[in-house]
């Protein structure tokens, strides 16, 4: 997606060889026009897989997932990173590790928002080591539902996430694939 790549080059900040900061348009301040365009790309790519729901992980995946859900006219479900007092025992939970923040999260899904017949499209902002997507997959499959695909806004292709997920048979579609962040320069695949 050329407009996304241009925006990454213009406004992305390479923190180090593993971390790209895009908080000016994706996950702190949000460019809704760009998110709408991202939703269009995901819709066009994944509609043939006939998902029944869009899942994302709070909070950075919410904007692209909501625009995808809006265009596909599907419900969007947000997987929670923190347990809430209003969620009862009627939940699915799995632990995921955030390498960027060096913390573990209890990823949580209420059982009332998934059924065995669902085909889930997972949308997330980044794919690096595949931990967040793997956690979402575990929740979906523990409910007896299927993953119809995984849409990623920015993939760090130099990390093992894609290889891990594809080796398990999951369809990945990334809008911007980064080959390297070495020497403070963004290089695309």
84 band by pLDDT with thresholds 50, 70 and 90: low
Check the annotation: does 129 bind a ligand.
yes
Could you give the CA distance from residue 78 to residue 23 in angstroms, rounded to a whole number?
A: 20
CB atoms within 10 A of CB 103: 10
- The pLDDT value recorded for residue 104 is 87
Task: State residue 86's pLDDT score.
Answer: 64
59-94 as b/e, with b when 16 or more CB fall inside 10 Å?
A: ebbbbbbbbbbebbebebbbbbbeeeeeeeeebbbb
**Is 175 annotated for ligand binding?**
no
- The residue extents of the domains of the chain are 2-188
User: pLDDT-based confidence at 182, cuts 50/70/90?
Assistant: very high
Give dist(CA 146, CA 139) in Å, integer.
10
Tell me: is residue 131 an annotated ligand-binding position: yes
132 annotated as a binding-site residue = yes
Q: How confident is the model at residue 87 (pLDDT cuts 50, 70, 90)?
A: low
Can you tell me which residue has the tokens 């479900």? 77
Name the residue with tokens 């969620």: 87
37 annotated to bind ligand: no
**Rounded-to-integer distance, Cα 104 and Cα 98, Å:** 6
Say whether 121 counts as a known binding-site residue: no
Domain 2-188 architecture: 3-Layer(aba) Sandwich (3.40)
In a 10 Å sphere around its CB, with 0-12 CB exposed, 13-18 middle and 19+ buried, how is residue 159 labelled?
Answer: middle
* 160 confidence band (pLDDT: 50, 70, 90): very high
171 is known to lie in a ligand binding site: no
List the structure tokens of 113: 């928002």
**The 3-state secondary structure of 150-185, one letter per residue:** EEEEEEECCCCHHHHHHHCCCCEEEEEEEEECHHHC
Instruction: Say whether 74 sits in a helix, a strand or coil.
Output: coil
Q: Would you give the DSSP letter of residue 27?
A: I
Q: CA triplet 98, 156, 70: central angle to 5 degrees?
A: 80
Q: What is the pLDDT of residues 6-47, one digit of tens each?
A: 999 999 999 999 999 999 999 899 999 999 999 999 999 999
* 136 annotated to a ligand binding site: no
177 φ/ψ angles, rounded to the nearest 5 degrees: -110, 120
DSSP state of 109: E
> 110-141: per-residue pLDDT in tens?
999 999 999 999 999 999 999 999 999 999 99
47-66 mean pLDDT: 96
């Amino acid at each position: 997606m050329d407009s996304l790549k241009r925006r990454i080059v213009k406004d992305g900040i390479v923190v180090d060889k593993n971390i790209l900061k895009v908080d000016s348009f994706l996950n702190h301040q949000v460019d809704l026009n760009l998110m709408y365009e991202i939703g269009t790309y995901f819709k066009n790519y994944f509609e043939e897989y006939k998902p029944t729901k869009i899942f994302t992980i709070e909070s950075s995946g919410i904007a692209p997932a909501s625009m995808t859900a809006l265009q596909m006219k599907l419900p969007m479900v947000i997987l929670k990173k923190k347990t809430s007092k209003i969620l009862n025992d009627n939940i699915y939970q799995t632990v995921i590790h955030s390498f960027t923040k060096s913390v573990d999260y209890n990823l949580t899904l209420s059982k009332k928002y998934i059924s065995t017949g669902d085909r889930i499209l997972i949308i997330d902002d980044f794919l690096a080591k595949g931990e967040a997507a793997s956690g979402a997959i575990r929740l979906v499959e523990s409910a007896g539902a299927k993953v119809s695909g995984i849409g990623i806004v920015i993939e760090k292709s130099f990390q093992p996430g894609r290889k891990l997920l594809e080796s398990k048979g999951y369809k990945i579609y990334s809008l911007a694939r980064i080959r390297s962040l070495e020497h403070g320069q963004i290089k695309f695949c």
